[in-house]
Structures are given as structure tokens and as C-alpha cells.
Chain A
Amino acid sequence: MKKFWCWFFVFWPTLAVLICLISVSSDYRWWFPANPAGSNPYEANQVIAAAGDYDYTAASPLGRQIDDLFYLILLIVTIVFIAVNIALGYVLFKGASESEEGKSLFTHGSHNLEVIWTIVPAGILLFIALYQMDVWAQYRVIENFPDEARKAPVAEVTARQFEWRIRYPAPGTTLQIDPQPGDLYTVNELHVPTGKPVMVYLRSQDVQHAFFLPELRVKQDAVPGLVIPVWFEATKAGEYSFLCAELCGWGHYKMKARLIAEPESKVDEYLRELKLDQDYDGVSKPAAIAAVEE
């Protein structure tokens, strides 16, 4: 019976480690949000790309730094986990194999051991805390946002049950906190230029939501009453997921939108078309034709 429990408690951690290894493999791909390069994840008849096409690197430079941190912590934690479980296994089996006769060893404990296994983990955690500080600062401290992103926010994103309302500044103007007469409005589609850091103002119209760009590793809660600046940079052009990550009601699961990262000229073209559509008075030529003629 004792041996059964020894194997029982050694079996599960081993199984966990094995499952983790398998799930990352190309057959299961249970890892970071992947960017199927070039294909549109929302198209109805999308063909799932072959394993080699999946790109797990974050689609933003800051995202890559966040991934590096993740790997570091994963490495530390895995080593500790395996070490601890080996120790546990050893202790279990040793205890199980000892005979039941005779008195057990009674000890008052070891002061040195206690100190060691307090200081070492504390040191590791302190190391992690200090190591990640600059990534945190880059991401969350407004003064550290890249200047070009701070100066020219690209849009105001307002979360609402259950959609994302986007307000762009009129072409050629800077986005103001208050809506301006020429502002362009759309819903569920955010266009940003690639290759440079951009900033959005995040608001919420009703309850808490969260601005979540999985492939870019961006997540920020939208709190009603606050205007929160969020910056990110999309390295590659493409269509990315834009989800809500804070339970906000019955429609939270489908509060999806599109983040379309494209070259700046294309973003400008999109905004021009949006302006034509928004100014459409029923008489002038349809926006699409006019845009082409420009």
C-alpha cells in the first residue's frame, strides 16, 4: 500500500511535465497565440496552415521581451519543480522502504537548512522582480512611452457591451480627449501603422472590459471613468485578434474585433475612405469610387 502512494505522488508530477512537453509539440501547438503568417484568421473557409507555418514569436518588440521574461521564469520554475519533486520522491521511497519496527528519528530541525531554503527562493524572486522592472516600466509608466507614440495617439478605443467603438482624429489633426467635429468613427476595426509605436486612449462606456491583443501581448483593463493610454508596436502587417479579456456580460465571449496592422500609407488610405463614407450625403459619388479616383 505504501509503495502505491509513493508511485502515486511521483506519477502525477511526471505526467504533468510530460503533458507540457507534448502539448507544445507541432501536433498540439498549445503555446503562445500564434500568427499564421499572411492568412486571415477570420475567414470562414481558412485552411489551417501546416505546422511549420505557425509563428509563435510575439508580433511586437515589447511582446518579445515579455516572452523572454516568460521563458526565464519558466526555466527557473521548471528546474525548481523537478528538483523538488525528485526530493519528494526520494523522501517517500526512502520512508516507504524503511521497516516499521523501531523508533523513528526525532529531530529538532536544522536552523541552517531553514535559513538556506528561505534565502535562496527569496533571492530568486528578488532577481526576477528586478530583472523585469525595465520591461514593466516601458510598458506601464507613461513617461517611458516612446515619444512618437505619446505625441500622436492613433485612436480612442471605447469599449462598450459588446463591441469596440473606435474614434480616429480627422486626417491631419491630433486626437483630442474630447470629440472634435472632424473625427472619424467606426466600430470593431482598428487600423494601425506597422513598424512604429502607436498609442490608443482606452475608455469604457459602461462596465469593465479589457483591451487584449494576444499576438502582440498587450492587455489592459478598460475602467469606466478613466482614460488609459496604451502603447504597442506591430512589427508585421496582418490581421490580429482583438479581444475582450474582462468578463463584461452575456456577450463577453463574442466581443471580438479586428486589429489590422498595415503600412502607414494604407492606414491613411483607409482613413480617407472612412472620411468619404462618413461625409456621404447621398448625392456625391459613392465613397469607394471617389477614393480610387483620388
Chain B
Amino acid sequence: MSRLNEKIILQTDSIVRDRILAASVEVRVVSFRFQICIVIGLMATVIGCGEPNAKFVTSDRTKGLIKEARRGAKVEVNGEDIKLKGVEDYVVENFGTPHDLVAWLRLPVDFGGQAGTVATQENEGRLKVDIKDGSDTGNATLVWLTGDSAGQTITINGYNAAVGEIALAETAEVAAGTQFVISPGQTLADGRRHYMTHCSHCHGTAGDGAGPTAEYLYPKPRDYRKGIFKFTRTKAPEKITTPDLKRIVKQGIPGTYMPSFMLLADDELHAIVEYVRFLAIRGEYENKLCVELEESYSTAAVKDRTSNDGGESKDDIITELTGFLAEDLPGIADDTGTLLAETWERANSEESLIVPSIARTPDSAESRSRGRALFLSAKAKCANCHGPNGLGNGPQTEDYEKDPVTNQFKPLPGLYDEWGQIVKPRNLTSGIYRGGRRPIDLFSRIHAGIKGAKMPAFGGSVLKDEEIWDIVNYVLNIPHEVQTGKVVAAALPKDDKAAAPKAVPEKAAASTEGAGE
């Protein structure tokens, strides 16, 4: 009996043992495969996919156009297929893509490189040239700007600044007086790299103010594509100057998420600012081309035109559009480039800068009380938005604005800026001045308003320069007046009493009556 049992046990054992062995082999095989999967997965995350093919984001306005307006159309002319360019094609042709930028020399942007003129041609491989403040280079590319080979590139072996000679790598015949640029686009390329490192996570690759960090920020980072910057020292219709941009980048904007980049080296700062201007001009260019087309060729407009009311057929519209793309758009695109170049060039000129006609009125109690009177007056209406005590809670902040295009009321009360955000009038008691705290900065804010926001321009007609200085003196004193509990007595001029708004604080009204004249 026991021997039989032993045999059975032994046999059972062996069967079980075999099964266990088999199973463990499987387990090992499965777990090994599993390991491989984990390893490959981890390796992939560590290596990554490299930088994806970076693109400048297409603006929402462009996306609202029909396909043919955006990307052009093909037409057959005399048996040949010609591609007509659409909005996106023009933008890419003149500004490029992030990895293949185009330096359009018409624009007043410093693209970099060394520009010069050919003096004489020593021999086939050597040129004597005139470059202002040149520095030695080694192997580089040279682009001819004028002459027969305008637009073509040539490699050079080097430029020797001391002697003023360029050694060409290939033979070429060049007339004297031909203009050229060595390593053009160097500043633009540097600007792009530094911009991506420091700026793009808030401002976005195309400067659209919608980088990954932007969704957590209020106020939102600037969208450059309208070409509008809020804090400038230029007159109301003008664009921002390059020194203004440098100042903003260096000092930051207190009260917002824009930090100070004080520690950037000068050449980095220059490259970044030029790249920002490049992006702003690019955005404006795209916008302006869209505006030409969107009235008739946006998806909404085409829907309207092909509806029962409109009565047109899609084919007719496309034919009309191709005619426009062929005949009109090239000229418009060219003119837009020239217009933008002029506008941005003018911004950096002396004539667009705000220069007060008189020096600042010395800060005194009289000046401040005049300033306060103006602040409350019906002439300037500062209290309308900023509130009678400068807290930024004036009656305008509770008013519902109407959208200028649709004529519908906006959803929330308050003042909207041109980017569609609600912006509050500045709380002047905080002592934080976003555009700078120098008297000239405050003067510029009042004189030219804040571009893109609801602060209007008062300079020139409504307020004279002396009056603006009085207001500046008053405003600079508001944070301290709140602290020490003093209320500057308002001496309202007699004429304004009739039109004074009801929100004059009691203390000031009492002292006015008490002061008398």
C-alpha cells in the first residue's frame, strides 16, 4: 500500500514539478517581455522626440477665411498651372517659419550681420570693402544687396577689418559700389533662440500671448500681433520705440507677471527686442491682409453670400476670389509691407516722441491741489474711471460697454482693452506704476493715453502741458496722502462747480466752501 502511495506521490510530484517549471519558464518569459516594454517606454520618454517642427500659429482671423483665401488657388493660364498666393503664403514668403526665418530688408528691423559697400576689386578673389565698425570674420556667407547679382549669396573665406579686405571663396566679378551684407540674419537667429529661452513660454512662439504659462496669468501676456504696446513714450497714433521696448524688458512691468531681465547681456537684449519687433510686424502684416479679404471671403461671409438671401454660387465667389488673388492681392501685400515699414520707422524718429513743452512744475502743495481739482473736474473726468480717491473704482467700471462691431452689450461691466480682456483703471493709491514711475512716464500716459486700453489721450487739446504736470504731481502724491491721512484740499475753480460730478468727497467739498475766494 505504502509503496503504491509512494509511487503515486512520486509521479504526482513529477507532474506537478514539471508544470511548475513550465509555468515559471512562462512567467519568466512574460516578465522579460514586460521588462523590455518598460525599458523601451522609459528610453523613449528620456530621449524624447526632439523639437517638433515649430510653426508660427495662424491667427484666428486667418482661420476664419475660406481655404482658397488662406492658401491660395491654382489656376490654369495658357495651359500652365499657376499657384496664386493666399494670405498664409504671403506671410511665410515674407517672414518665414520659426526654423527658416526670412529677413525682409525693407523692414526697419536690425537683422544683424555687417553691411558694407565694395570699394574696388583687387582681383577675382579679393575685394577692398568699406564696412562701418566692422569686425573680423572667418568663413561666412555674403549676400549682395544691389547690382547684377542682387539677392544672391556667395561664400567668403574671411573679412579682415584692419585691412578692409574680403577674401572670396569663389571667383566673382563685382562692380564698385555694390552693397552687401556679411552673415545677414545673425541677430535675428540669435533673437529667436534667446526669445525661445526667455520669452516664449508666456508670449508664445509667434508672440500671440498664449504660451503654456499664459493661461495662469492675469493680465495676459502681450499679444504682439496687433502691433500695439501699452507703455510707450510716443504720441497717441505712433508705435512703440526700440528704447521703450528695451526698458520694459530690462525693468519688467511691476504689478504684472512680466519680470525684469536686468541681467541680460546687451547684445542678447538687443537681439530679443529686434525679434519682438519682427514678430509684431509679422502679426500686423497677417492681420492687415486678412482684413482685406475677410469682408467678402471669410467662412461666415461666404455662407451669407451663398444663402438664399445672398443668391450667389460658391463657384462665382471662387472665380471672383481668384481674380482678386491674381490682380489685387500682390499689390496690396507689397503696399502693406511698405506701410508697416514706414510706421515702425517713424516710431523711432524724434517727431513721434512726446517731449513736454515745459519742464515739470516743481512738486508743491499748490500744484497738487490744482492737480486734484483737474482730476475731479468735468474737463478731464479722471474720477470717472479712477474714482474720486484714485482707487480705480469710478462709475465707468460699472458701466456695460457695447461691442463696436456687433453693437451688443458686453457680458460683464467694466472697461475692455483691445485684446478683449477687462482691464481695471489703475488704483493710484498703490504706488505701483506699470509703465514706469518717472514723471515723464506719467506725463506720457496722460498725454497719449494707453494704447490698446481705454485710457484716452488728453494731450494737445483737452489738457495743456502745465495742467498735465499738475496732475502728475498730484498722482505721485496719492499713495502718501492715503498713508498719512491727509486729504489735499481741493480748490475747485468757480466755473467748474456747476459741472462737477456728484462724487466729490465731503471733506474736499467742505474745504472748498470754507476756502472761498
Direct contact of A and B (CB under 8 A): yes
Q: How distant is the Cα of A180 from the Cα of B440 in the complex, in angstroms? A: 20
Interface residues of A in 28-80 (CB under 8 A from B): 42-44
Asked if A181 contacts B263 (CB within 8 A), the reply is: no
Q: How distant is the Cα of A179 from the Cα of B254 in the complex, in angstroms? A: 15
B356 to chain A: which residues have CB within 8 Å? 281-283
Evaluate whether A185 and B262 lie within 8 angstroms (CB atoms) in the complex, with A281-B356, A281-B359, A282-B355 already known. Answer: no
| Interface-located stretch among A16-24, A89-97, A218-226, A249-257 | A249-257
A277 interface neighbour in B263, B438, B480, Cβ under 8 Å: B438
Asked if A181 contacts B480 (CB within 8 A), the reply is: yes
Within 8 Å of chain A (Cβ to Cβ): is B278?
no
A257 to chain B: which residues have CB within 8 Å? 262-263
A281 interface neighbour in B201, B257, B259, B443, Cβ under 8 Å: B443
> From B484, which residue of chain A is reached at the shortest CB distance?
A178
Closest CB-CB distance, A137 to chain B, in whole Å?
Answer: 35
Within 8 Å of chain B (Cβ to Cβ): is A209?
no
Within 8 Å of chain B (Cβ to Cβ): is A279?
yes
A174 to chain B: which residues have CB within 8 Å? none
Closest CB-CB distance, B124 to chain A, in whole Å?
Answer: 36
Digitize A157-192: 1 where CB-to-B-CB distance is under 8 Å, 0 elsewhere. 000111101000000000000111100010111000
Asked if B480 contacts A180 (CB within 8 A), the reply is: yes
Q: How distant is the Cα of A178 from the Cα of B482 in the complex, in angstroms? A: 11
Q: Which of A189, A258, A278, A281 counts the most B-chain CB atoms under 10 A from its CB? A: A281
Asked if B440 contacts A281 (CB within 8 A), the reply is: yes
Asked if B359 contacts A283 (CB within 8 A), the reply is: yes
Interface residues of B in 157-174 (CB under 8 A from A): none
Closest CB-CB distance, B419 to chain A, in whole Å?
Answer: 23
Q: How distant is the Cα of A187 from the Cα of B439 in the complex, in angstroms? A: 18
B360 to chain A: which residues have CB within 8 Å? 279, 281, 283
Within 8 Å of chain A (Cβ to Cβ): is B96?
no
Q: How large is the interface on A (under 10, 10 to 19, 20 to 34, 35 or more residues)?
A: 20 to 34
Interface residues of A in 98-117 (CB under 8 A from B): none
B252 to chain A: which residues have CB within 8 Å? 163, 187
Asked if B443 contacts A187 (CB within 8 A), the reply is: no
A43 to chain B: which residues have CB within 8 Å? 265
B358 to chain A: which residues have CB within 8 Å? 283
A250 to chain B: which residues have CB within 8 Å? 201, 213
> From A281, which residue of chain B is reached at the shortest CB distance?
B360
Closest CB-CB distance, B55 to chain A, in whole Å?
Answer: 24
- Chain B interface mostly: loop
Within 8 Å of chain B (Cβ to Cβ): is A284?
yes
Digitize A209-249: 1 where CB-to-B-CB distance is under 8 Å, 0 elsewhere. 00000000000000000000000000000000000000000
Within 8 Å of chain A (Cβ to Cβ): is B437?
yes
Asked if A282 contacts B440 (CB within 8 A), the reply is: yes
Within 8 Å of chain B (Cβ to Cβ): is A280?
yes
Asked if B437 contacts A44 (CB within 8 A), the reply is: no
Q: State how many residues of chain B have any CB contact under 8 Å with chain A.
A: 33
A160 to chain B: which residues have CB within 8 Å? 254, 259
B262 interface neighbour in A161, A181, A251, A258, Cβ under 8 Å: A258
Closest CB-CB distance, B236 to chain A, in whole Å?
Answer: 16
> From A283, which residue of chain B is reached at the shortest CB distance?
B359
Q: How distant is the Cα of A180 from the Cα of B481 in the complex, in angstroms? A: 10
Q: How distant is the Cα of A283 from the Cα of B440 in the complex, in angstroms? A: 8
Within 8 Å of chain A (Cβ to Cβ): is B476?
yes
Q: How distant is the Cα of A279 from the Cα of B443 in the complex, in angstroms? A: 12
Asked if B267 contacts A44 (CB within 8 A), the reply is: yes
B431 to chain A: which residues have CB within 8 Å? 179
Evaluate whether A188 and B260 lie within 8 angstroms (CB atoms) in the complex, with A181-B477, A283-B358 already known. Answer: yes
> From A45, which residue of chain B is reached at the shortest CB distance?
B265
> From B254, which residue of chain A is reached at the shortest CB distance?
A165
> From A181, which residue of chain B is reached at the shortest CB distance?
B480
Within 8 Å of chain A (Cβ to Cβ): is B251?
yes
Closest CB-CB distance, A170 to chain B, in whole Å?
Answer: 12
Closest CB-CB distance, A183 to chain B, in whole Å?
Answer: 9
Q: How distant is the Cα of A61 from the Cα of B437 in the complex, in angstroms? A: 37
Q: Which of B201, B444, B469, B480 counts the most A-chain CB atoms under 10 A from its CB? A: B480
Within 8 Å of chain A (Cβ to Cβ): is B461?
no
Closest CB-CB distance, B257 to chain A, in whole Å?
Answer: 7
B354 to chain A: which residues have CB within 8 Å? 282
Within 8 Å of chain A (Cβ to Cβ): is B479?
yes
Q: How distant is the Cα of A162 from the Cα of B202 in the complex, in angstroms? A: 14
A283 to chain B: which residues have CB within 8 Å? 355-356, 358-360
Asked if B263 contacts A188 (CB within 8 A), the reply is: yes
Q: How distant is the Cα of A51 from the Cα of B267 in the complex, in angstroms? A: 29
Asked if B438 contacts A278 (CB within 8 A), the reply is: yes
B476 to chain A: which residues have CB within 8 Å? 181
A179 to chain B: which residues have CB within 8 Å? 431, 479-480
A162 to chain B: which residues have CB within 8 Å? 259
A44 to chain B: which residues have CB within 8 Å? 265, 267-268
Evaluate whether A279 and B439 lie within 8 angstroms (CB atoms) in the complex, with A44-B267, A161-B257, A178-B483 already known. Answer: yes
Q: Which of A43, A187, A189, A250 counts the most B-chain CB atoms under 10 A from its CB? A: A187
Digitize B2-39: 1 where CB-to-A-CB distance is under 8 Å, 0 elsewhere. 00000000000000000000000000000000000000
Closest CB-CB distance, B414 to chain A, in whole Å?
Answer: 24
> From B363, which residue of chain A is reached at the shortest CB distance?
A181
Closest CB-CB distance, A186 to chain B, in whole Å?
Answer: 8
Asked if B439 contacts A163 (CB within 8 A), the reply is: no
User: Can you give 28 A-B contacts (C-beta < 8 A)?
Assistant: A42-B265, A161-B257, A163-B252, A163-B260, A178-B483, A179-B479, A179-B480, A180-B480, A185-B437, A187-B254, A187-B262, A189-B262, A251-B259, A258-B262, A278-B437, A279-B438, A281-B356, A281-B438, A281-B439, A281-B440, A282-B233, A282-B354, A282-B440, A282-B443, A283-B355, A283-B356, A283-B359, A284-B359
Instruction: Spell out A's residues near B (CB within 8 Å).
Output: 42-44, 160-163, 165, 178-181, 185, 187-189, 250-251, 256-258, 277-284
Known A-B contacts: A162-B259, A187-B252. Give 14 more (CB < 8 A). Answer: A42-B265, A160-B254, A163-B260, A179-B480, A180-B480, A188-B263, A250-B213, A256-B263, A280-B439, A281-B356, A281-B360, A282-B356, A283-B360, A284-B359
